[in-house]
Amino acid sequence: MININKLNLKLDNNNLAMSSRLKKPSQRAVFSAWCNIIEVNNAYDLSAHYQDICQNHHNEHKWILMINPENDSLEQLSTMGKINPERILKVNASKVNVSLEQIKNTLLKGTCSAMILSNAHYNQAQLKEISHCAALGETHCILLQTTTEQISQLH
């Protein structure tokens, strides 16, 4: 007589061993999970991304940090009641020194649910470092890149 339970157990063990090997994230998967680059076409697009980010990353115990945000878009979303500005911190990089090291340290602390960097440009090595720090601190990092120079005129 064949014991079906023993056979199923062996199959399940094989599947578990295989799936644990498959679940190891590649460097690319970590990058896409914790750090995203989003292209912004115009002011409407920017407002929509701000709204999505604020709604998707809202956390009562963590901040959403925005570096160099477009203030007009944020104010409009706030007055329309589409975002709650109470958990949003805004930093203007022209007034405060925001270095790559400071960005990485902030991501590592994990005090923010998301960090949004507007029009920041980094090379592949820097993006890997940012992504790694974001994953360790469990903080989403979103880089908003405008495709037009005159986004403020469109708003």
Confidence of residue 74 (pLDDT cuts 50, 70, 90): confident
The chain-wide mean pLDDT, for the chain, equals 78
- Are 115 and 67 spatial neighbours (Cβ–Cβ below 8 Å)? yes
C-alpha–C-alpha distance, residues 73 and 14, integer Å:
53
Predicted confidence (pLDDT) per residue in 10-36, tens digit: 444 444 433 333 333 333 333 458 999
Helix 43-56, helix 71-79: angle, nearest 10 = 60
Delineate the domains of the chain, giving CATH numbers in brackets: 26-154 (3.40.50.300)
- Are 64 and 118 spatial neighbours (Cβ–Cβ below 8 Å)? no
- Are 141 and 32 spatial neighbours (Cβ–Cβ below 8 Å)? no
Task: Say how many residues make up the chain.
Answer: 155
C-alpha–C-alpha distance, residues 54 and 84, integer Å:
8
Confidence of residue 125 (pLDDT cuts 50, 70, 90): very high
What DSSP line would sit under 61-119, residue for residue? TSEEEEES--HHHHHHHHHTTSS-GGGEEEE-TTTS---HHHHHHHHHHT-EEEEEEES
Question: What is the value of pTM for the model shown?
Answer: 0.71
Least confident window among 59-63, 68-72, 117-121, 151-155: 151-155
